[in-house]
Structure 1
Amino acid sequence: MEFNISTDIFEDLTYIYSGKLTVKKNVKCLYVIIAAYDLQLQNVVEHLENYFKENDSAWKLPKDFFIISEQRQLKQLEEQVLKLACTDPIIIFNCKDFPQLNEGFLIRLLKRNDLELNEINIFYYLVKWGIVNTGLTLNKKSFSPILIFDKDRSILDFVIDTRKWTPIDFMNLEKTIRNCIPHIRFYQMSLGDYTEVKNEFKDILPNGLDDEIMQHFKDSNPLMRIPSNDNILPPRESACPFDSNIINAKDVALIATWINGGKGKKHVFQFKNIHFKFECVYRSSIDGFDKYDNLYKYKRVVIVIKVRNSGEIIGVYNPFGWDISYSEYILFKLFRDFLSRYFIFSLTNRVNPIISYHKEGAMSKISNERHILFGTSDLSINGIYCTSEQHSFKKKIIDKVRFEIDELEVFHITNKNIVITLSSNIPFLIIIFILYWLWILIIFIILNKK
């Protein structure tokens, strides 16, 4: 029997001679496991498998991911490496080895509920994989995807030029990705994202899908939860934990995107890359519903509410503090934090969330009776009781006028580093700089006249 084991790996298996396992740092442990399987060294296999299971830091992604995908004898480690890949899938999808990933393992990745990437980008990566695996009949130049990343390695755009494609090209691509397409969660895309996909790749989508999805969006009220349907795959959940009884890490990433000035869902932050720290400073199930005056000391907060019985999720971002007038708000906007926008929101329908910006009138206030008020009466919190009537904000976030709170959480928002703090106040710093030199110029002119 012949074994395909490198000299370095064989030398590291000193267990064969001494009964002690020593592996050099520069040798891939997965290759040692593979060699141990070939040599039927079961104790070595079990020892190293346990080492990987107990130490996430032992994994070297993306290389180890692709090793696992090709080795049937490493079944014990497949679930763990898939879970790790879901926390940072870009390093997998953007790896040069990704187009060579076998279909079965790709499908296992696409089926994961914790795959941390926006659905439209997952779809485009699948198309990229399909392009490479369709064969030499394709026009490689027109089938070259263009990935554009921002400084945090989040996808800003993903362009595939299909203008020169023929019907045969689309047909061949559809055959290649046919088994993978059912695991793309088209129903979890926004209407804008799905429309973009449909316009470019309608010919590779399953028959009848377009009519079903367009009807789904037509029937979907953003103020209401999407009805459950066994044929609709559930939304993907973040693989990253977040301390909240109401929102998850993906919700936090979306709120952070809104705070940072982004309005759409396509380019939402990944949770690990958000610029802000969310610190829970108040939770009604622990702190009660009658101590809201304790929030005075926090000038920049996100408040989220889970509505009793219905489970609807609404909230507000208050970047300006409490008891400020509308004129003070205008001055704040001009001279302190130009990027911050005061808004209320709904995550009741996560496929079609609502963000409603302040337009005029009353701001935020905590009364002497410990009532919280946002806008004129757009969101009023009195103990466990709430009212919501649209006045000061542009859109409604809930159909109900009166309702009760099941849970309320308050998160203090801070910038993660000084660079973000300075960058968010660039307009203010520019104005100060201009005023300073204008003052110097005025003094210079006055002195020269004398």
Structure 2
Amino acid sequence: MTTQFYERLSNDLTRLLENSIDYNVTIEVGENKQIYKLHSYILQSRSSYFYKKLNEIPFNENHIKVLKMPDISIQIFDIIIKYIYGGIISLENLQNSVLFELLIASNELNLDKLIELLQTHFVVNNASWLKLNFSWVCRIKNLKNLNRLLEFCNNIIAKHPDTIFGSDIFLTLPEDTLISIIKKDDLQLRESKIWQYVIQWGKAQNPTLPTNLDEWTSDDFLTLKTTLKNCLPHIRYFSISSEDVFKMIFPYQQILESEVNNKQTYSTALLPRTINITIPTRNTLNIITDKHALKISSWIDRKLTKYTKNNPYEFKLLVRGSRDGFDVGTIYKNCDKISSIVIVLKVKDTGEILGGYIPCELDKDKNKWIYSPDSFIFSLKTANIKKSILSRVSKSHHTDHAIANFPLHSTIFFGNNLCLVGNLKNGKKCCCLQNKDIYDSYDKFEKPIRSEKFLDKILSENSVFNVEEYEVFQVSKKK
């Protein structure tokens, strides 16, 4: 019979890490250059990265191998080194942003078991966080090594390609990420658009290329060809119309291995993609769920019993912070003269989802208070918030000051009860002011929408906030 004492072994190795007896490796970590005294035989047996790296580094005169890792934070390395020595890790008390940094670092250090655990944590249990931080996820280098995460991202992009092709981060995508996207058989884009995006990406990698194609030399075409050599084989040229071939491809014929002749290219023929162009590409709900949308629709219709299925309203996405920008001016620009809009915010650090409904039209050209008796503000139930809160316009106050439409000051106020100011992501000026002793005459809505723990005092550190993401929807009855 074999008896195993893994817990005792883990404890002994963890104590060895703490005492650093007979260490022969020092690793300098982070910007603060914290020194860890470690043991090569443990590092090399647990990580192929350290196995290779430490074999390349000679011992110094003190018989110590010195390694510097400035790009990894002390917090992340501390978690990793305890895992390497003791084989134990707890995810419970760590924020998703920290866990994602941990996943990236684990990938760099080839910690296979930890990579698999963290991928499962996100893809299975925290898919909503991945969607909310999609642009960040897609910019990760070596994403191809994170198979489950890559598959998750590519499935979203295939169905909703505008989430990436229409975003500011598209031109900064790593090559391997772009290739994994355009290889998808179910990518919901016409082939001519894929060609245009690939060319656009290639030019962005070479900013010195002339803007006017007529000014390009053979060397310029060669530069673009070299940049796109791994991307071009994945274009389905046979799926492009003759008209688009002459208009879009023929001007770049020098970058192709074979000549373009009408609709044909003499490259390997790939099967057409499975395309359903009717799939919506811009209306995905990132912050709120379908259940949240049903609840908001019930509030709009003043239903005592909320809708549970068959939402009578369509939520059309107008603005998304990560896609369009976080300044309040962006809301005015994209929602001018549009009525029946819902603004939803995900508060940074707390995970709260706050929002408001404006049935009247916004005006991007002048400051004014808007009469809006049917407006309401809300907070939604989440994993951290036990219940949703609805706050309608108070009947005890004049409703002609319910909505502050102040584009010239880059602000939108729901009374003083939900205030959106300036840059929602970095300005830390958003707030929910509600103090009956001070602001009673300005409280246009019935009750606070934030939990009491976030409303300790006016303008305290907790009462002003930044948002992690925001979205604005036009809500209209389905036909």
The interval holding the TM-score normalised by the smaller chain is 0.3 to 0.5
Larger RCO: Structure 1 or Structure 2 (Cα < 8 Å, ≥ 6 residues apart)?
1
The TM-score normalised by the length of structure 1 is 0.40
